[in-house]
Structure 1
């Protein structure tokens, strides 16, 4: 019960990191489209952050599973599965010679991922505030009890 606010803060930090990594990749593709970057720079920049993004998304999903947040786990499963299939089929890297051919598809993929991560951000921030408020209310109402077990209080009646 007391770990819930800390756990949701960790989730929000992970989500902000995912948002930042994905936005960085989208910005790189936009810069290539506007001729601010050359394909070599773009591929080296994007390829350096793809695997950490995939690992962080996988950890995000697994942490929801381990902590028992089933709804959030089920919501985070499709992006993690998409990342895993791209990684296992060796399609996760940006090839310098084919970057202009896949530019629009990669930008659309990053926009969709940004939308998914923004929805997660809203859900995680809402849950962080709710967990912090609930924890503060319990510590105010029951200052002597470190852990309050609702099952025993319900069974007494």
Structure 2
């Protein structure tokens, strides 16, 4: 059962890292909206963390899949599918010239991701506490 706790701790830290990346993207978009940063700097800072976010989401899904936590895998898989589809369509990067036209849509997308990740974080915390109490 100690392996289960390690899986849940790993998932917890992966979800915290994903939350930090999405919050960073939201802050960059908010800075752009309030004209604290220019479009080039904003889009380059967002584009720098997009692929690490996708990789972390893939690692999280793989962790749930390999460890046999099927429900958590099924809850995390839609975000991975969405990220893969964005990458395949080459729409994962923020365009410097179109960033002001897409600002509201990009903010909504990242806000939905943030809410989704917070729900996954609370579910993983619940499962981690549940598995710890099961061992006692």
Rounded Cα–Cα distance in structure 1 between residues aligned with 2:125 and 2:45: 29
2:93 corresponds to which residue? 93
- Give the match for residue 80 of structure 1: 80
SS in 2 for 1:3: helix
Corresponding residue number in structure 1 for 2:129: 129
How far the C-alpha of 1:51 sits from its partner, in A, is: 0.2
Q: CA deviation at 1:132?
A: 1.9
Distance 1:77 1:133 in 2: 27
Q: Structure 1 unaligned segments of length 5 or more: list them.
A: 138-157
1:55 is aligned to 55
Whole-Å separation in 2 of the counterparts to 1:2 and 1:54? 28
Tell me how many residue pairs correspond in the alignment: 136
Whole-Å separation in 2 of the counterparts to 1:96 and 1:2: 47
Cα distance in 2 for partners of 1:5, 1:104 equals 39
Which residue number corresponds to residue 111 of structure 1?
111
Deviation at 1:62? 1.5
The answer to whether structure 1 residue 102 and structure 2 residue 102 are counterparts is: yes
Q: State the Cα deviation string for residues 101-154 of structure 1 (Å, max 9, x = none).
A: 11100000000000000000100111111222222x1xxxxxxxxxxxxxxxxx
Q: What is the rounded CA distance, in whole Å, between the counterparts of 2:18 and 2:81 in structure 1?
A: 16
Is residue 39 from structure 1 mapped to residue 39 from structure 2 by the alignment? yes
| Cα distance between partner residues in 1 of 2:37 and 2:132 | 44
Larger Rg: 1
Please, what TM-score do these two structures have when normalized by structure 2?
A: 0.97
Gap regions ≥5 residues in structure 2: none
